[in-house]
Copies of this chain bind each other. A is one copy, B any other.
Amino acid sequence: MSSTPPPKRGYHHGDLRAELVREGIALLAETGVAGFSVAKVAVRAGVSSAAPYRHFPDREALLAACAAGIIADLTEVSIAAAERAGPDPVERLAATAGAYAGYVLAHRAGLDLLYGHDFSGRHRQTIHEQSRRLLDTLMALAADVLPPDTSWAETTDFVYAHVAIAHGYATLHTRPPRDVDVLTVRAVAVARDHITGHLMRPR
Which residues from chain A sit less than 8 Å from chain B, CB to CB? Answer: 32-34, 36, 108-109, 112, 115-118, 157, 160-161, 163-169, 171-175, 186, 190, 192-198, 200-201
Contact = CB atoms under 8 A, between A and B. Distances in A.
Contact of A116 (B109, B161, B168, B186): B109
A167 B173 CA distance: 12
A157 B183 CA distance: 10
B33 A115 contact: no
Contacts of A164: 165, 168-169, 171-173, 190
Contact of A165 (B33, B165, B174): B165
A190 B163 CA distance: 12
A115 B174 contact: yes
Nearest to A33: B34
Nearest to A36: B34
A52 B197 CA distance: 50
Contacts of A171: 115-116, 164, 167-168, 171
Given A116-B174, A116-B175, 12 more contacts: A32-B34, A34-B116, A108-B116, A109-B112, A160-B169, A163-B168, A164-B171, A167-B172, A171-B171, A193-B194, A193-B201, A200-B200
